[in-house]
C-alpha cells in the first residue's frame, strides 16, 4: 500500500487517472443483482502494456462458469473466464499473471449474471495499471545487433567502437565503402584485416583507370570467407566488371592470381551476415594494357589464341546453324581495339527458319516441344484437318543451317493437304437410271452439284473450291450471282449446302454455237469460299491426261434431268438419278444426228458418246458427271471421265448422248486453277 501511495504522489492527477484505476462489478461490495452486466475496455499507449490485478473474486460457482462469470480479452483474444470464490494469494499466483495486454494493446473485461442466486455474492474488484514495456529485456525481436537501451515508451540501439548504425537504426555495420578511382596500384582488404571481419558488412570499393588499361588483382594466400557445408556462400566477395560479374568467391581458396578483369572500371563488393569469426581477404591491385578475348560465342576465331593485342585482326566463323549481322554473314573479320573490344562485332545467333507457309486445311505441329521452336535442328510435323484430306509429301521437316525447312529425305518444297477424291462413304448397290430410274441415296454421289438457274443443270466438285460443268449451261450468266447446291439428293431440300460463285471461266475454245458445235463444252466455277467437306460433299478425281477410253466400258452418269416416268419429258426430276451405261465405239460416236435446221452436228476428238437402249442422260442433266469405274463396282477411286454435253431430245433418241472428254482438258484445268491461286 505504501508503494502504491508513493506512485500516486509521483504522478500528476491528469496522468495517473489514465494510467491506473479500479475496475469492479456492479454493486460491489454489496453484491450484484440478477441480470447484471458490464463491458469495460482500456488500451495501453505505444511502448507500454496494460495489466489487471484482481484483489477480490466472489461469483456464483457453476460448471464452466455458465451462470455468473467475468471474461477477460487481450486484443480480442480470450485469456480468462472466471467464477466462484478465490483467495487473494490464489489470485496473485494463478489468475492475475495472464491478465496482460501486448505492447500498445488493449484489455476488455465482460461481466454478466443470470436470474437467480441461492445466496448473495459480493462480485469482483481489480486494479489496472499501465507500465513501460522493456523491449531490451522482454522482446527477443528488438533487432538491435549489438546494444539495446530501453526508455519509457520505447528503446534505441547503439554500436561498439568502429561501427555505426545503418539506416534501419537497428543494424550495426562498418564504414567500408571507398572510391579509389585514379589509383593504378594499392591494397584492399576486408574490415579489421587480418583480424576477424565485421558482421553485417556491406563494403563497396570502386576502382577506375584510363580506358586503354585493365585492372589486375592479386590475392594473398590467406583467404577465409564463410561458407556452409554444401560449399555455398554465406558471406561473399564479388567483382563487378564491364564484361560481367566475377564470383561470388568464398571458402578457403582464393580466386586465381593474377585475376585479369578485362575492364578499366570495377567494383569490389564484400558482404557478411551477423555471425561468424572468419578472417576475410586481402588483395593488391595494379594495371596492365587491355587485351581482347575470344568472347564471341557460337563461333571460332582464326588464328586461335587465349587473348589478342590491340591491332590484331582475326576471322570469326559462326558455328554451323548460326549466323551474324541479322543473318547476312556466316563469317567476317574483326580487329582488337585499344578499349579491349572487337570492331566490328556481330554476335553469332542461331538460325531461325520461322513458321513455314502452309496451305489451307493443313495443321502445323512442333515435334517434342510445348513452345513454337523454329530454330536450327528443330522439327515440325504436318497433318491434315480431317479425314477428307490427305497429306502429299513428307510429314516431318527440319530447320537446316541455311534457314530453310527440309524434309527428312532432303526433298524440296512443303507438303500440302489435298482432298480425298472419288471415294463415297455410301455403297452403291442398286442400278438406278436417269431415264426411268430410281433415286440415288444421300452420299452415294457426293460430288454431284445442282444448278437451278439460269438453266437447270449439273456440275461436279473437283476440290473444295472448284467445280467443273458444261460451258453451255452457264454461258452468258453473271458469275457473282450463280448459286450451286451440294450435299443433297432432293432438289427441294432446305438443308443443302449453298455454294456461291466467285468466278466463271469458260474454255477459250468454246464457240457458243449450240445448234451444231459443242466443241470445248467445259467451264470452271470458283467458289467464294472453300466448302466444308463431309460424307455428303466430296470431290471426284480427275483422270490422267492420257487415260483413253475403252469401248463398252461401263460408267455412271447422274443428274436431276427428265425421266421417262414423268410422262412430260420437259419436267425435271425432283430427286437425283443415276444410271450405268457403256462407252460406245468411235465410229458410232461420229454418226451424229441432224438438227431441225437440217445441219449436221459436229463431233470432235474432245468428245465421246455413251448409252444403251432405255438408259441415257436427258435435258436438265447437262454439266453433270460421267464417272469410271461405275458406282456399283468395288473398284475405286472414281474418276470424272466425261461431262454431259449434248444429244437429241430424249423422245427422239433411243440409246446415246455425247460427253465432253475431260482427259483432254486436264492441263487447262490445272493451269487455270494454279493461275487463280497465285493471284
Mark whether 501 and 585 lie in a shared domain: yes
What is the rounded (10 degree) CA torsion for 439, 442, 446, 450?
60
In sequence order, the β-bridge partners of residue 42 are 107
In this structure, are residues 83 and 68 in contact, taking their beta carbons and an 8 Å threshold? yes
In this structure, are residues 645 and 457 in contact, taking their beta carbons and an 8 Å threshold? no
Mark whether 98 and 221 lie in a shared domain: no
**What CATH number is associated with residue 370?**
2.10.70.10
Say if 294 falls within a structural domain: no
**What CATH number is associated with residue 109?**
2.60.120.290
Say if 438 falls within a structural domain: no
In order of 203, 350, 359, 518, 655, the CA distances from 594 in angstroms are 112, 75, 50, 14, 16
Q: Is 148 helix (H, G, I), strand (E, B) or coil?
A: strand
Give percent above pLDDT 90 in the chain: 53
Say if 319 falls within a structural domain: yes
Highest mean predicted confidence (pLDDT) among 168-177, 293-302, 555-564: 293-302
CB atoms within 10 A of CB 99: 21
Say if 443 falls within a structural domain: no
CA-wise closest residue to 336 among 262, 280, 241, 239: 262
Mark whether 572 and 635 lie in a shared domain: yes
Split into its structural domains, the chain has a count of: 6
Which of 598 and 660 is assigned the larger pLDDT? 660
Mark whether 503 and 640 lie in a shared domain: yes
Q: How far is 20 from 185, CA to CA, in rounded Å? A: 69
The predicted-structure confidence for 524-549, as pLDDT tens digits, reads as follows 999 999 999 999 999 999 998 888 89
Say if 433 falls within a structural domain: no
Q: How far is 497 from 443, CA to CA, in rounded Å? A: 13
In this prediction, residue 186 has a pLDDT band, given cuts at 50, 70 and 90, of very high
- Which pLDDT belongs to residue 16? 36
- Which pLDDT belongs to residue 356? 83
Mark whether 122 and 154 lie in a shared domain: no
Q: How far is 396 from 380, CA to CA, in rounded Å? A: 6
Mark whether 159 and 277 lie in a shared domain: no
161 Rama class: left (phi>0) / alpha (psi -120 to 50) / beta: beta
- Domain encompassing residue 34: 2-133
In this prediction, residue 414 has a pLDDT band, given cuts at 50, 70 and 90, of confident
In this structure, are residues 86 and 57 in contact, taking their beta carbons and an 8 Å threshold? yes
Among residues 419, 434, 467, the one where a domain terminates is 419
Mark whether 236 and 335 lie in a shared domain: no
Say if 429 falls within a structural domain: no
Q: Which residues are annotated binding-site positions for Ca(2+)?
A: 60, 68, 114, 116, 132, 135, 150, 154, 226, 235, 273
Residue with cell 516431318: 396
Among residues 116, 148, 172, the one where a domain terminates is 172
Mark whether 461 and 410 lie in a shared domain: no
Mark whether 60 and 181 lie in a shared domain: no
Say if 436 falls within a structural domain: no
The predicted-structure confidence for 431-477, as pLDDT tens digits, reads as follows 433 554 568 899 999 999 999 887 789 999 999 999 999 999 998 77
Given a cut of 90, whether residue 152 has pLDDT beyond it is no
Given a cut of 50, whether residue 388 has pLDDT beyond it is yes
Q: Which helix (H) or strand (E) holds 423?
A: none
The predicted-structure confidence for 606-660, as pLDDT tens digits, reads as follows 999 998 876 656 767 899 999 999 987 667 799 999 999 988 766 555 578 999 9
Sorted by sequence, the CB contacts under 8 Å of residue 451 that are 6+ apart come out as 457, 458, 459, 469, 473, 474, 482, 483, 484, 485, 623
In order of 36, 167, 630, the CA distances from 70 in angstroms are 11, 47, 103
In this prediction, residue 95 has a pLDDT band, given cuts at 50, 70 and 90, of very high
CB contact burial 15-32 (16+ within 10 A = b; e otherwise):
ebeebbeebbbeebeebb
- Which pLDDT belongs to residue 14? 36
The predicted-structure confidence for 198-212, as pLDDT tens digits, reads as follows 888 889 999 999 988
Measured in Å, how far apart are the chain's first and last C-alpha atoms? 109
Say if 26 falls within a structural domain: yes
In order of 443, 483, 603, the CA distances from 525 in angstroms are 22, 10, 25
In this prediction, residue 159 has a pLDDT band, given cuts at 50, 70 and 90, of confident
Task: Compute the mean pLDDT over every residue in the chain, rounded to the nearest whole number.
Answer: 86
In sequence order, the β-bridge partners of residue 39 are 110
Mark whether 494 and 403 lie in a shared domain: no
**What CATH number is associated with residue 625?**
2.40.10.10
Mark whether 240 and 141 lie in a shared domain: no
Mind telling me the catalytic residues? Answer: 472, 521, 622
Mark whether 384 and 454 lie in a shared domain: no
Amino acid at each position: 500500500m505504501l508503494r502504491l501511495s508513493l506512485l500516486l504522489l509521483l504522478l500528476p492527477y491528469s496522468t495517473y487517472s489514465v494510467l491506473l484505476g479500479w475496475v469492479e462489478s456492479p454493486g460491489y461490495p454489496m453484491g450484484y443483482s440478477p441480470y447484471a452486466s458490464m463491458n469495460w475496455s482500456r488500451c495501453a499507449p505505444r511502448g507500454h502494456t496494460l495489466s489487471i490485478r484482481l484483489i477480490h473474486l466472489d461469483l456464483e460457482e457453476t460448471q464452466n462458469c455458465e451462470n455468473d462469470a467475468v471474461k477477460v480479452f487481450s486484443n480480442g483474444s480470450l485469456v480468462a473466464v472466471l467464477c466462484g470464490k478465490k483467495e487473494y494469494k490464489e489470485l496473485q499466483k494463478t489468475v492475475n499473471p495472464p491478465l496482460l495486454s501486448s505492447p500498445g494493446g488493449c484489455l476488455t473485461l465482460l461481466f454478466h449474471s443470470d436470474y437467480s442466486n441461492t445466496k448473495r455474492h459480493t462480485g469482483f474488484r481489480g486494479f489496472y495499471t499501465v507500465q513501460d514495456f522493456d523491449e531490451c529485456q522482454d522482446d527477443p525481436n528488438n533487432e538491435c545487433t549489438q546494444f539495446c537501451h530501453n526508455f519509457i515508451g520505447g528503446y534505441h540501439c547503439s554500436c561498439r567502437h568502429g561501427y555505426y548504425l545503418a539506416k534501419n537504426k537497428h543494424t550495426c555495420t562498418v564504414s567500408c565503402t571507398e572510391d579509389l578511382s585514379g589509383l593504378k596500384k594499392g591494397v584492399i582488404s576486408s574490415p579489421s584485416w587480418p583480424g576477424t571481419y565485421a558482421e553485417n558488412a556491406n563494403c563497396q570499393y570502386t576502382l577506375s583507370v584510363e580506358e586503354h588499361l585493365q585492372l589486375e588483382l592479386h590475392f594473398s594466400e590467406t583467404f577465409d570467407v564463410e561458407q556452409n557445408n554444401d560449399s555455398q556462400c554465406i558471406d561473399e566477395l564479388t567483382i563487378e566488371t564491364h564484361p560481367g560479374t566475377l564470383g561470388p568467391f568464398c571458402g578457403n581458396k582464393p580466386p586465381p592470381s593474377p585475376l585479369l578483369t578485362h575492364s578499366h572500371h570495377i567494383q569490389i563488393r564484400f558482404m557478411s551476415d551477423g555471425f561468424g569469426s572468419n578472417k576475410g581477404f586481402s588483395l593488391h591491385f595494379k594495371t596492365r594494357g587491355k587485351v581482347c578475348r575470344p568472347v564471341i560465342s557460337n563461333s571460332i576465331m582464326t588464328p586461335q589464341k587465349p587473348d589478342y593485342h590491340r591491332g590484331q585482326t582475326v576471322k570469326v566463323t559462326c558455328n554451323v546453324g548460326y549466323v551474324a549481322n541479322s543473318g547476312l554473314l556466316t563469317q567476317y573479320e574483326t580487329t582488337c581495339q585499344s578499349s579491349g573490344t572487337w570492331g566490328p562485332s556481330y554476335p553469332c545467333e542461331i538460325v531461325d527458319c520461322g513458321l513455314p507457309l502452309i496451305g489451307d486445311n493443313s495443321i502445323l505441329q512442333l515435334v517434342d516441344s510445348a513452345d513454337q521452336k523454329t530454330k536450327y535442328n528443330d522439327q515440325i510435323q504436318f497433318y491434315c484437318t480431317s479425314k477428307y484430306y490427305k497429306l502429299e509429301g513428307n510429314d516431318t521437316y527440319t530447320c537446316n543451317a541455311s534457314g530453310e525447312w527440309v524434309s527428312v529425305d532432303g526433298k524440296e518444297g512443303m507438303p500440302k493437304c489435298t482432298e480425298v477424291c472419288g471415294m463415297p462413304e455410301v455403297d452403291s448397290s442398286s442400278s438406278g437410271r436417269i431415264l426411268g430410274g430410281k433415286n440415288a441415296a444421300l452420299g452415294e454421289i457426293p460430288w454431284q452439284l445442282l444448278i437451278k438457274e439460269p438453266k437447270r443443270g449439273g456440275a461436279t466438285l473437283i476440290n473444295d473450291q472448284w467445280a467443273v460443268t458444261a460451258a453451255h449451261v452457264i454461258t452468258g450468266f453473271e458469275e457473282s450471282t450463280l448459286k450451286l447446291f451440294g450435299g443433297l439428293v432432293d432438289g427441294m431440300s432446305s438443308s443443302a449446302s449453298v455454294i456461291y460463285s466467285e468466278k466463271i471461266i469458260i474454255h477459250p475454245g468454246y464457240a457458243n454455237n449450240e445448234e451444231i458445235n459443242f466443241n470445248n463444252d467445259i467451264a470452271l466455277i470458283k467458289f467464294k469460299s472453300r466448302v466444308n467437306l463431309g460424307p455428303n460433299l466430296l470431290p471426284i478425281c480427275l483422270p490422267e491426261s492420257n487415260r483413253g477410253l475403252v469401248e463398252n466400258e461401263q460408267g455412271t452418269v447422274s443428274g436431276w434431268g427428265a425421266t421417262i416416268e414423268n410422262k412430260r419429258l420437259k419436267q425435271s426430276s425432283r430427286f437425283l438419278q443415276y444410271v450405268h451405261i457403256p462407252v460406245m465405239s468411235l465410229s458410232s460416236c461420229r454418226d451424229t444426228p441432224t438438227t431441225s435446221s437440217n445441219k449436221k452436228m459436229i463431233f470432235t476428238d474432245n468428245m465421246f458418246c455413251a448409252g444403251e437402249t432405255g438408259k441415257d442422260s436427258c435435258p436438265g442433266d447437262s454439266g453433270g458427271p460421267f464417272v469410271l469405274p461405275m458406282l456399283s463396282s468395288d473398284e475405286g477411286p472414281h474418276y470424272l471421265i466425261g461431262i454431259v454435253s449434248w444429244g437429241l431430245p430424249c423422245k427422239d433418241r433411243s440409246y446415246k448422248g455425247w460427253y465432253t472428254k475431260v482427259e483432254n482438258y486436264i492441263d487447262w484445268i490445272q493451269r487455270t486453277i494454279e493461275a487463280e491461286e497465285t493471284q
